[in-house]
């Protein structure tokens, strides 16, 4: 029975990492769709989102079954409870990718982002994917080193987000209010994607070491 329980814990971690990978692929695809005004790619992200939701529900149910049947304590309890929290963050990451895709659909056949900020969004997409993949690795391998090494990428995302805000507030902005709103919302979607990845990595640190990530605070 104990071996089966351990196998279930390993399977739980693997399933959560897999869903994180799906959310990361969704954001990668949504970014390509955004920059190319690619309606087919955008609609694929939207339609495949239900797979992420279904997988999240299944994994969450598995985690609750582990809680009820085995009543874990100490490190195992941390693992199961934080796994449930991680599922929520991953689900939100998938939702944010879907939001990016929806902006593409709404503005099609026009490109939703003006040329002068396209480079910023290409970089935000790159950073988001790098964070997502690092988070997937941290989840799968309980890799504290990877989990604690993502701060620089998160800082880069924050800087890109701040730069976008400066751009749309500049008097030289000539693309109108609707475009400014789109750019502002899109920047927020990428920034929040990164925030959720960071929260998951902080929980990996807590799972393995039993102590909060240094300077850990829950964002408002």
Tell me the per-residue pLDDT of 88-134, one tens digit each, with 9 for 90 and over: 999 999 999 999 999 999 999 999 999 999 999 999 999 999 999 99
**What tens digit of pLDDT does each residue of 19-70 get?**
999 999 999 999 999 999 999 999 999 999 999 999 999 999 999 988 888 8
Residue 215 clears pLDDT 70, i.e. is over it: no
Q: What integer pLDDT is reported at residue 181 of this predicted model?
A: 94
Domains and CATH numbers, the chain: 2-209 (1.20.58.220)
| Backbone phi and psi for residue 187, each to the nearest 5 degrees, phi listed first | -60, -40
Using 50, 70 and 90 to split pLDDT, how confident is the model at 79?
confident
State pTM to two decimals: 0.91
> Among 211, 204, 190, which residue's Cα sits nearest to residue 79?
204
CA-to-CA dists, residue 136 to 34, 154, 205, angstroms: 24, 15, 14
Residue 219 has pLDDT above 50, yes or no: no
- What pLDDT score was predicted for residue 66? 86
**Residue whose entry in the numeric block shows the structure tokens 């490190």:** 75
Query: CA distances (Å), 184 to each of 8, 162, 171, in order?
Result: 42, 10, 16
């Amino acid at each position: 029975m104990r071996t089966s329980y351990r196998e279930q814990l390993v399977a739980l971690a693997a399933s959560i990492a897999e869903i994180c990978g799906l959310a990361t692929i969704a954001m990668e695809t949504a970014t390509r769709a955004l920059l190319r005004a690619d309606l087919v790619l955008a609609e694929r992200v939207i339609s495949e989102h239900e797979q992420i939701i279904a997988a999240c529900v299944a994994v969450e149910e598995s985690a609750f079954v582990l809680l009820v049947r085995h009543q874990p304590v100490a490190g195992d309890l941390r693992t199961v409870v934080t796994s449930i929290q991680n599922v929520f963050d991953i689900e939100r990451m998938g939702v944010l990718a879907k939001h990016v895709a929806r902006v593409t659909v709404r503005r099609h056949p026009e490109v939703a982002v003006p040329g002068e900020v396209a480079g910023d969004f290409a970089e935000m997409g790159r950073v988001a994917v790098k964070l997502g993949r690092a988070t997937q690795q941290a989840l799968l391998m309980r890799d504290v080193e990877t989990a604690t090494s993502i701060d620089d990428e998160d800082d880069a995302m924050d800087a890109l987000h701040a730069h976008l805000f400066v751009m749309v507030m500049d008097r030289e902005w000539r693309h109108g209010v609707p475009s400014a709103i789109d750019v502002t919302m899109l920047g927020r979607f990428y920034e929040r994607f990164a925030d959720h990845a960071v929260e998951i990595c902080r929980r990996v640190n807590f799972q393995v070491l039993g102590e909060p990530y240094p300077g850990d605070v829950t964002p408002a």
